[in-house]
Amino acid sequence: MIKLSNVTKVFNRSKANEVKAITDLNLTIADQDYLVVVGSNGSGKSTLLNLIAGSILPGNGEIYIDNNRVTRLPDYQRSRWIARVFQNPLSGTAPDLSILDNFRLAALRKKPKSLIIGTNALFKEQVKEKIALLNMGLEHKLEQPMGTLSGGQRQALTLLMSIMDDCKILLLDEPTAALDPRSAGLVMQTADDLIKQFELTAILITHNLKDAHTHGNRLIQMVEGGIAQDFSAESKLNLTQNDLFSWFS
């Protein structure tokens, strides 16, 4: 369970370029919920996600994950619960490292990175099996640098990397924004499958209203740093895509 209570985040406080990104926000996300967040640019969606991930820390308010107070915990310590997929396919993987090395690090998300060589034959087999599930033929290219793959392939692999180690929460920050429609569909499908199979709690930020409509079991609309509308599972089913479009016009 993720809980934000009275969270406020202001950038450049009391300067000319002050931005109130999140104002007094309360949000509780139940276990295994799949929350979709929509809102126009600058409405605070990414800030919300970064606050949960710990990349930025709130000015006021408290954040809890599984009843642990994590308000002041930096991102690299929240990684024991949270895996992330970024908007930019380059951010979620290390381009100069091989696919295998990337997966090795992902497999150690919750564990210390020690002075042993962990990329052994056994580990290679495990990674091969996992990657084969994607049906992209990447299981034979484990030694290839991540940077030589396409954006879609990298996003799909980043998703897969999130479940290499025990994971509870998956944060998806516009994961398909940089992808062509076919790759985007594949990435969203993979995300759905993983969330269901591993019983993850997930948050998806998207500008694609079709995705917002079809995925997830809860939908919120953010406006100016607050939650304007909140639809639970049943009421979300009654929404049409046109309803969503009308919020942005």
| Residue 74 binds other proteins, judged by CB under 8 A | yes
Cβ nearer to other proteins, comparing 53 with 138 = 53
Cβ nearer to other proteins, comparing 39 with 89 = 89
Largest CA distance in the chain: 57
Minimum distance from residue 131 beta carbon to other proteins (Å)? 18
Q: Are 146 and 92 in contact (CB under 8 A)?
A: no
Q: Count the alpha carbons within 13 Å of 139 in the hemisphere toward its beta carbon.
A: 16
**Among candidate residues 80, 79, 87, the one with its CA nearest the CA of residue 155:** 87
Sign of CA dihedral 134, 90, 51, 110: positive
Touching other proteins, residues 88-107 (CB under 8 A): 90-97, 101-102, 104-106
| Residue 124 binds other proteins, judged by CB under 8 A | no
Contacts within 8 Å (CB) and 24+ apart, 29-33: 29/1, 29/2, 29/3, 29/201, 29/203, 29/218, 30/1, 30/201, 31/1, 31/201, 32/199, 32/200, 32/201, 33/201, 33/202, 33/217, 33/218
| Residue 24 binds other proteins, judged by CB under 8 A | no
Query: Which residues lie across from 204 on neighbouring strands?
Result: 36, 172
Cβ nearer to other proteins, comparing 102 with 153 = 102
What 8-state DSSP symbol labels residue 54? T
The stretch near other proteins (CB under 8 A) out of 14-22, 34-42, 115-123, 183-191 is 115-123
Cβ nearer to other proteins, comparing 168 with 213 = 168
| Residue 154 binds other proteins, judged by CB under 8 A | no
Cβ nearer to other proteins, comparing 78 with 215 = 78
| Residue 163 binds other proteins, judged by CB under 8 A | no
CA 193 to chain centre: 15
Of the candidates 7, 29, 70, 82, which one interacts with other proteins according to CB under 8 A? 82
Minimum distance from residue 65 beta carbon to other proteins (Å)? 14
| Residue 53 binds other proteins, judged by CB under 8 A | yes
Q: What are phi and psi of 157, to 5 degrees?
A: -65, -40
Cβ nearer to other proteins, comparing 129 with 143 = 143
| Residue 57 binds other proteins, judged by CB under 8 A | no
Of the candidates 13, 113, 140, 210, which one interacts with other proteins according to CB under 8 A? 113
The residue type found at 19 is V
The Cα–Cα gap between 246 and 242 comes to: 6
Return residues touching other proteins (CB under 8 A): 53, 55, 74-77, 79-80, 82-84, 86, 90-97, 101-102, 104-106, 108-111, 113-119, 143, 145
